[in-house]
Amino acid sequence: MTSRRRSEMVEETRAKLIRAARSAFAEKGYSTASMDDLTAVAGLTRGALYHNFGDKRGLLAAVVDQIDAEMAERAHAIGSQAESPWEGLMAEGVAYIEMAMEPEVQRIVLLDGPAVLGDPSKWPSQNRCLHATMQTVQALIAQGVVKPVDAEAAARLLNGAALNASLWVAASDNPSEVLVRAVDAFRCMATGLLETPA
């Protein structure tokens, strides 16, 4: 009855650890979160951790990857519903700004992630996300909608501006009000990339 395959068990413990790590890292921050506490919450010990993820960084990498993948999926879903490709790009950027207001994203992906894992553009997840926006930009350039700038550079600047704006919004005293200002300015600045500012 309790007979599940080994691989299933492993995936379950990995999931349990990642789940515990997400909340621990989000609440206490990476450096303050204790591996002992973390694993205890998951009903395990540090042994499981070092066996599955190598070290503390490895666990963070797994957590970041999961969150980032969710973000990319959500952003893409939102962007693909837009009227035009350009509006899709804008909606995607705005979605990033809004998502980054969640403590998990904020603390783990934007603050601790870069410090512990290094430049985000090297992460597999971030590469996927960036690649997506890059392709959108590329397509917009081909259509003559966006000026013929370097697609990668444009994508990175858009992402960077969006993510940075979220930090501001989240840290502000009145997030919902600041969010409007941030989104406005974001859309305005982004029009610089347009061939015809319309």
Partner DNA sequence: TTCTTTACATACGATACGTATGTCAATCTG
Partner DNA sequence: CAGATTGACATACGTATCGTATGTAAAGAA
φ/ψ of residue 164, rounded to 5? -65, -40
C-alpha radius of gyration, the chain, whole number = 19
Stretch that binds a second copy, among 20-28, 39-47, 73-81, 147-155 (CB under 8 A): 147-155
Q: Which is nearer to a second copy, 78 or 178 (CB)?
A: 178
3-state secondary structure of 194: strand
| Binding letters toward a second copy, positions 34-73, x by CB under 8 A | ----------------------------------------
Span from 38-46, 63-71, 76-84, 151-159 in contact with a second copy (CB under 8 A): 151-159
CA torsion through residues 30, 31, 32, 37, sign: positive
190: contact with a second copy by CB under 8 A = yes
When asked if residue 160 is in the footprint of a second copy (CB under 8 A), the reply is yes
Query: For residues 55 and 52, what is the distance between their CA atoms, to the nearest angstrom?
Result: 9
Find which of a second copy, DNA, none residue 156 binds, CB within 5 to 8 Å per kind: a second copy
Binding-site member from 27, 34, 103, 115 for DNA (CB under 7 A): 34
Q: How far apart are the first and last CA of the chain?
A: 65
The answer to whether 162 touches 93, Cβ cutoff 8 Å, is: yes
Could you tell me if 17 and 52 are in contact, meaning their C-beta atoms sit under 8 angstroms apart? yes
Kindly indicate which of the ranges 38-46, 68-76, 149-157, 161-169 contains the residues binding DNA, using the contact rule CB under 7 A: 38-46
Distance CA(82)–CA(74), nearest Å, equals 13
Q: Which does 112 bind (CB under 5 to 8 A by kind): a second copy, DNA, none?
A: a second copy
How many positions of this chain bind a second copy (CB under 8 A)? 46
Helices (H) and strands (E) in the chain, counts: 10, 0
Which CB, 7 or 176, lies closer to DNA? 7
Q: Which helix (H) or strand (E) holds 96?
A: helix 85-99
Binding to DNA, residues 39-98 (CB under 7 A): 39, 43-48, 50-52, 55-57
Q: Which stretches of the chain bind DNA, using CB under 7 A?
A: 2-3, 5-7, 9-10, 13, 33-37, 39, 43-48, 50-52, 55-57
